[in-house]
A = this chain, B = another copy of it.
Amino acid sequence: MRHTHLMCAAVRNEAENDAGVTALRLTAVLTAFGPGDGPLGVSELARRTGIAKSSVHRLIGHLVGNGLLERDGTSVRLGLKLFEIGQLAIRQRGLVDAARPHLADLREATRNTVHLAVLEGAEVVYLDILRGPDAPRLPSRIGGRFPAHATAVGKAILAFSEQSEVDGVIAGGLARVSTRTITAPGLLKRQLTKIRAEGIAYEREESGTGVVCAASPVLGGDGKPVAALSISGWVNRVRTERVGPAVRTAALALSRALT
């Protein structure tokens, strides 16, 4: 019987580990969906996650049962419940609600597109975007990501971040996003010093051709950057030096509102 117990204990440990594996696999299925995707089938999800089809089939059953996925014919799509939970995730930060009137003012005053973004590792994540009537159609989307060093919002946040965070971004490599992206560490560091002194970050076609941007960091009570606001427009229609003070003013007002 001792032998039996030992064996079953091993299986039980496996079950214990299984909880971690299941958690990992559930997340893998949920994060397998990309921006351009419609509903995905079992085979496609198995291919993307590297999980066996039979397991994907079972995981989908659980996720549909809990409302995190929804069936669409023989495929599945992300559930509305994920949208609801996701909204709570940013509400907990209080940031989006607090930023909304400031973003609206900026758009009203400049007629261009305004962004609210946070830094996640070496990328920025857009929490909110209000598109202006005079602005170009930008590739940014709410919930989307972009390399931090190639954007004004990213540079605005990095300029006020710990040196170790900046070093981490540089160590990860400054990928070229457009022909004007800053890819030299020394040049980026010099710009960040200037941005820190002025409180405004400028971006001139560094994220894409034809687009310029001015951004300013939103600082928490401890002086650490929590986000950045920006205004983006056509290079030949927006004078970033002129909209810079507007975005700085809005960022200062939002910083004050958060503390």
Expressed in whole angstroms, the minimum distance between the Cβ of A38 and any Cβ of chain B is: 6
A62 close to B120 (CB less than 8 A): no
How many identical chains are in the complex?
A: 2
Closest Cβ of chain B to A18, distance in Å, is: 5
Residues of B contacting A20 in the complex (Cβ-Cβ under 8 angstroms)? 62, 65
Name which of A23-31, A195-203, A216-224 contacts chain B: A23-31
Bound CA–CA A87/B140 (angstroms): 13
Output the nearest chain B residue to A142 by Cβ-Cβ distance. Answer: B87
Number of interface residues of A (CB under 8 A): 59
Contact of A22 among B3, B4, B19, B82 (CB under 8 A): B19
Given contacts A7-B4, A18-B22, A23-B22, contact A33 B88 (CB under 8 A): yes
B30 and A85 form a contact (CB under 8 A): yes
**Interchain CB contact under 8 A, B86 and A82:** yes
Binds B, one of A72-80, A146-154, A157-165, A232-240: A72-80
Q: Which residues of chain B have C-beta atoms less than 8 A from A59's C-beta?
A: 19, 23
Interface residues of A in 83-125 (CB under 8 A from B): 83-92, 100, 118, 120, 125
**Contact among B7, B68, B80, B100 for A8, CB-based, below 8 A:** B7
Chain A positions 208 through 222: 1 when the CB is less than 8 Å from some CB of chain B, otherwise 0: 000000000000000
